[in-house]
Amino acid sequence: MTSVSSGTAMAPPKPWYKVLYIQVLIGLVLGVIVGWLYPDFAKNDWMKAIGDGFVKLIRMAIAPIIFCTVVAGIAHIQEVSKVGRVAIKALFYFEIVSTFALGLGLLVADVLKPGAGFSGKSDAAAVATYAKQASEMKPVDFVLHIIPDSAVGAFAAGDILQVLLFSILFGFALMALGERGHTVRSLIDDLAHAMFGVIAIIVKAAPIGAFGAMAYTIGRFGPQALGNLAGLIATFYVTAILFVVIVLGIIARIAGFSILKFLRYIKDELLIVLGTSSSESALPQLMEKMERAGCSKSVVGLVVPAGYSFNLDGTNIYMTLATLFIAQALNVPLTFGEEMTILVVAMLTSKGASGITGAGFITLAATLAAVRPELVPGMAIVLGIDKFMSECRALTNICGNGVAAVVIAWWENELDRDKLKAALDGGVDPSNVETAVTTG
C-alpha cells in the first residue's frame, strides 16, 4: 500500500527557480504579458493547444489514479460498513457546505446588487447551445449516466463518476477475496506508485501549460471583455475569497488546522488551476497531497473524486450570484420565495452537469429555466466573461474538496495529526512528488 515516506533527514531547499509554484507563476505572468501585447499571436490555435495539451495530459492519468487509489483503499479495509459510512458522511458534508455556498451567493447579490443599472448589450442567440443542453438534462438521465456502458468505456471516456462506481465495486470484490487477492492488491499498489510517477513527469510541463492557456485567454478576450462586467467579476472573486477564508476557515478550525496554511500547502495546485481554468488538472496531485497530509487512502479515494461531482462550492456561489445579477440587469424583481427556490433548484442542477464541458454555464441555464425562464436570454450578458469566472469557480472547488478530505478523515478518526502538522508547517517538500510515495 502506498504511504508517505517518513525520512528523518530534511532535503536541502531547492533553488527558487526550480520551485514549481514559482515556475507556474512566471508562466502565468508571461502569458498575461504576451496575450496583452501580442493578442494576434496569443490567440492562434497553437497557443491554445499548449494549454489544452497540458490539461489533456493530466486527464489521461486521472482514471487509472482514481481506480488504483479507490480499489487499494477499499481492498485494505477490514470492515465493509466503513465504505458506506464514509460515503454517507461525505455526502452529508457536501450538502451542508454547498448550502452555505449557495446562500452566500444570494446574500452578496442582494446586498451589493452588482447587476443594478447595467447598461451593456447582449445577444440572446449566443446562449442557445447552453440553454438547449440545460433543457435536455433530466435527473433520471444523470443517474443512468453514472453507470458506464462498459468498464472499459468508463476509462476511455475519463468520466470520474463512472470510474469511481466501477472502482468501488472492484474494491469490494477484491476485499471479499481475502488472501487470494493479495497478488492483485500488490499489483494495484505498485501501479498507483507508477501512475503518480507519471504525474510527476507531466507536472513539470505545468509552467508551459499555464503560459499557453493564460496567453490565449488574454489574447482572445482581452481587457475589453471585462467592460461593465468588471463589477460582477470582482464581486464573485471577493465572495469566493470570503467563502474560503471564513466558511472553510471555520470548518478547518473546528477540524484543528489553519485554512491559510492549507492554502499555502496546495499553492502549486492552485496556480495550475488558475492557469488552466480546470480543477481536474490538479486532481491527481491533490489526492496525493491529501494522503501525504495524513488522510487515509480510503478516505481520499472516496471523498476527493466524489467531491468533484458533488462538492462544487465555486459553481454554487456562481449560480446564485449570476442568477440574481441577470435578474437585476434585466430589471426582473425576485421575491424571497423565488430566491429560496433558486437555492433549492441550484442545489440539484449543480449535480446534474458534472463532467460536462462548460458545466458551470449549463447549470446556470438549467437553474434559470426552472425558476424564471424569461431570464435565460440574459445569460448572454455574462457569456463573454465566463472564462474569467471559470477560473475562480475551479479554484474554489479545489479548495473545498481538499478541506473536505481532511474533515472527513478527521471525522473518521483516520487523520494522522503529525503528518498534517508537518505538511502544513512546511516540514516536507510538497512539490517533490517523485519521492513522496513509497510502497509498503
Taking only the tens place, the pLDDT of each residue in 211-250 is 888 888 788 766 655 555 677 888 899 999 999 999 999 9
d(CA 38, CA 36): 6
Which residue type is seen at 35? G
pLDDT-derived band at 116, boundaries 50, 70, 90 = confident
Q: Which residue has the higher pLDDT, 133 or 29?
A: 29
pLDDT surpasses 80 at 6: no
pLDDT surpasses 60 at 7: no
CATH topology (fold) of 17-439 = Proton glutamate symport protein (1.10.3860)
d(CA 171, CA 302): 11
pLDDT-derived band at 260, boundaries 50, 70, 90 = very high
Predicted pLDDT of residue 13? 65
Give mean pLDDT, residues 339-358: 68
Predicted pLDDT of residue 157? 79
Q: Are 304 and 401 in contact (CB under 8 A)?
A: yes
Predicted pLDDT of residue 421? 92
Query: 3-state DSSP call for residue 296?
Result: coil
What DSSP string runs through 219-261?
A: HHHTGGGTGGGHHHHHHHHHHHHHIIIIIIHHHHHHHTS-HHH
Predicted pLDDT of residue 437? 44
Rounded to the nearest integer, the mean pLDDT of the chain is 80
Tell me the pTM.
0.74
| Close Cβ partners of 335 (under 8 Å, ≥ 6 residues apart) | none
pLDDT-derived band at 124, boundaries 50, 70, 90 = very low
Q: Which residue has the higher pLDDT, 296 or 308?
A: 296
Predicted pLDDT of residue 10? 47
Nearest to 64 by CA among 5, 152, 144, 3: 152
d(CA 215, CA 30): 8
Taking only the tens place, the pLDDT of each residue in 40-97 is 888 888 888 888 888 888 888 888 888 888 888 787 776 667 778 888 899 899 999 9
Give mean pLDDT, residues 356-370: 67
User: Facing residues of 3 across strands?
Assistant: 438
pLDDT surpasses 60 at 435: no
The CA angle 59-185-91, to the nearest 5 degrees, is: 55
pLDDT-derived band at 1, boundaries 50, 70, 90 = very low
Taking only the tens place, the pLDDT of each residue in 388-429 is 788 888 899 999 999 999 999 999 999 999 999 999 987 655
Taking only the tens place, the pLDDT of each residue in 269-303 is 898 888 777 777 788 889 889 999 999 888 898 88
